Chain A
Amino acid sequence: MTTLDSSKGIQKNNSEVNETHEDFRMFGLITFLIADGMTFAGFFAAYLTYKAVNPLPDGAIYELELPIPTLNTILLLVSSATFHKAGKALLKDKNSDSQKWLFGTAFLGIIFLICQLFEYFHLPFGLTDNLFASTFYALTGFHGLHVTLGTLMILIIAWQSRINGGRLTSQNMFPLEAVELYWHFVDGIWVILFIILYLL
């Protein structure tokens, strides 16, 4: 059944105009995060294999201290909670509250990165010193890249949730939900990384 669109004079199909489909952007993002998780899984598998079969050469130093990474774990877990708060606030149309929580989350992310760099500069080994040193920097560096990208995305959606003219509203939650899922994913990876790299 076709009708004439009077405003533009174009014939179009009525059934097309009313066609809708489910929002599956989140589904696509989850699929992507599974793929991203497999990259980490590959790194973890390599590290665990090295640990099982490759002995540390004589005289090589590979020692990690716990305080900074423990602090970092707490920082990321708290930031997951603050991000959740931001979502709740936006759902109740409290945009300015949401924005504050988002800036808080981004702040925690930046503190995490600073702590990570501080740890890098105070470790007794460098990237090419030995196999475990290289693996340590590759793993934490790749995770740090994810945190950096996540922090940038949080800053972008914090800007978008401004009250006048921001495109992030309780009707359009997707950007916030997507970044939130990504951020929880990055936190989850950190917890696994913390257990495998520092505790095992």
Chain B
Amino acid sequence: MTISIDPQKTNNESLQPKGWLRYFSFSLDHKVIGIQYLVCGFLFYLIGGTLASAIRIELASPMSDFMPRDVYNQVLTLHGTIMIFLWIVPVVNGAFGNYLIPFYVGARDMAFPRLNAVAFWLIPPSGLMLVASYFVEGAAQAGWTAYPPLSITTPQSGQIIWILSVLLLGGSSIFGGINFIATIIKLRRPGLKLMQLPMYCWAMLGTSLLVVLSTPVLAGTLILLSFDIIANTGFFNPVLGGNVVVYQHLFWFYSHPAVYIMVLPAFGLVSEILPVHARKPLFGYTTMVFSIMGIVVLGLVVWAHHMFTSGTPPWMRLFFTIATAFIAVPTGIKFFNWVATLWGGKISINSAMLFSCGFIINFVFGGITGVALAQVPFDIHVHDTYFVVAHFHYIVYGGTVFIIFSSIYHWFPKVTGKMLNEKLGILHFIITFIGFNLCFAPQHWLGLNGMPRRVAEYDPQFQFVNQISSLGALLMAISTIPFLINVFLSVRNGKDAGDNPWNALTPEWLTSSPPPVENWEGEAPLVEEPYGYGKKIYDQK
């Protein structure tokens, strides 16, 4: 059976609000939804960043003098939850995925536009609910992992709101994942083969598989946890005969893949950005595809490396150490491919390129500490110390957030038709890069010397290094200012970009900027070589 598309019906142009108002409507246009995800995510990033600043201010001195200890716990819980579930996951999947995937597969919209809009509109209410939980009897205090029995014994209403909010966000994420899988597999333009797709499609396919397979397990676990809190059952409560380790297994069965849900799309985005600004084909396309799928498979069987201190038996430690070390292989292949893409290229040093290179440097560093953490003897030594905090932020901030900024510099001309200011962009990169490394590199030392994470007070001997770290955090907070100025100035008075300012070959640049509703005037172009730089007419200019 086939479905015919009636443009009168799908466009709904007369019903949809025009201009900026459409970003506040239940729009079905994938480009509008993508921008909604991005802006909504960025607002939550500002909230999460404010909370992070509060944490660093508190940690600038060894005593808990900036805020009480329970408030500190609430702040770090909200910081983690907001940054993961409301900034990185929605933006790197939802925002760029919605904007780019229909272009890349040569479609006019996502496979299920209504489901797509529903998936977005679940996010603002659950995010606001999470932030508002602070005003009930205090927000959740058990960290973003919500480990019982801590999450059962801390004040209940905040924890329950946290669970509800994460359940809604998980639902949103699953709906998005279903939509991406259907779009990439089923909605490809006739004649476009899977192995001709831009790399971001493969990354999103892998990510969506992880979302669909692992997020429901988290949902089920949180439902059981909420029973423990509300109905006094004992699934995870040792006092009532329950088992806390079962919670950890189920939680990490989602939350380890969640790291790949945050990082794989960034791998895809950087694979789009580097070839354009280095004017070279992406090196090793096939190995890239196989390493993404390898990461998806391995990513599902490494979760217990978060639990080496939870009484895991030796065979389990052995298995998960080896599986985790194996993940370094496909990841390493990808990094060699990116460096080889840059090698001998005609590299333009612009903000998008700088942030991508910053990503490569930071992520390699975070990857090395990751392999170190997979080794049981070392992991037991640094478990729950600042070493883990530093590793995680190198992966997720130094990796993914750098790529989010890189992508904004790369695709801003596509979305608005205006260029961003390069000088402000480079300033933004320099402050972010220095601030980030100043903030998190010293935390490796803190962790190795035994400073525990998630505690408001610490041994005074760590004060100086903590102050360096807080100074880095201050720089990171300042770095947002040139970025925001840049965006506001460029939207109003930016230089006109033309349709294809980077002379890129991927399909989204082969239409006007900003693109029309339904993406193309006439038929979608068939792009068989999205990375064919050095072969096509563009490079002869």
Interface residues of A (CB under 8 A from B): 12-13, 15-25, 27-28, 31-32, 34-43, 45-46, 49-50, 53-54, 57, 60, 127-128, 130-131, 134-135, 138, 142, 174
Contacts and interface: CB of A to CB of B under 8 A. Distances in A.
A130 B250 contact: no
Nearest to A25: B112
Interface stretch (B177-185, B287-295, B449-457, B501-509): B177-185
A49 B304 CA distance: 15
Contact of A46 (B213, B232, B250, B521): B250
B241 A42 contact: no
Interface string B195-234: 0000000000000000011111101110110010001111
Contacts of A12: 7
B5 A19 contact: yes
Nearest to A8: B8
Given A39-B216, A49-B243, A20 B182 contact: no
23 contacts: A12-B7, A16-B522, A19-B4, A21-B2, A21-B186, A23-B2, A23-B3, A28-B111, A28-B178, A34-B213, A35-B174, A35-B178, A36-B216, A41-B217, A45-B249, A50-B246, A54-B243, A128-B231, A130-B234, A134-B227, A134-B234, A138-B227, A138-B235
Contacts of B224: 43, 46, 138
Contacts of A22: 2-3, 186
Interface in B1-23: 1-7
Given A28-B182, A36-B216, A45 B250 contact: yes
Contacts of A15: 522-523
Given A12-B7, A20-B2, A31-B181, A57 B216 contact: no
Interface of chain A, main secondary structure:
helix
A117 B521 CA distance: 59
Interface in B217-275: 217, 219-221, 223-224, 227, 231-235, 240-243, 246, 249-250, 253
A36 B1 CA distance: 26
Most-contacted residue by chain B among A12, A22, A45, A131 (CB, 10 A):
A131
Contact of B216 (A19, A21, A38, A130): A38
Interface of chain B, main secondary structure:
helix
Given A50-B243, A131-B234, A23 B1 contact: yes
A131 B235 CA distance: 6
A14 to B, nearest CB: 9
A13 B518 CA distance: 12
Contacts of B522: 13, 15-16
Contacts of B216: 35-39, 42
Most-contacted residue by chain A among B187, B219, B240, B246 (CB, 10 A):
B246
Given A28-B112, A131-B243, 7 more contacts: A15-B522, A23-B2, A27-B185, A28-B115, A36-B216, A43-B220, A46-B235
B369 to A, nearest CB: 30
Interface in B363-382: none
Given A39-B219, A131-B240, A49 B249 contact: yes
A91 to B, nearest CB: 13
Contacts of B234: 128, 130-131, 134
Interface in B61-113: 111-112
Contacts of A41: 217
B329 to A, nearest CB: 27
A27 B188 CA distance: 14
A126 B523 CA distance: 63
Contact of A39 (B7, B111, B220, B249): B220
A127 B231 contact: yes
A31 B212 contact: yes
A31 B250 CA distance: 21
A35 B4 contact: no
A185 to B, nearest CB: 13
B125 to A, nearest CB: 22
A16 B7 contact: yes
B4 A20 contact: yes
What are the 3 A-B residue pairs with the smallest beta carbon separation, nearest first? A42-B217, A24-B186, A39-B216
Most-contacted residue by chain B among A23, A35, A49 (CB, 10 A):
A35
Contacts of A50: 243, 246
Nearest to A2: B522
Contacts of B221: 42, 46
B244 to A, nearest CB: 11
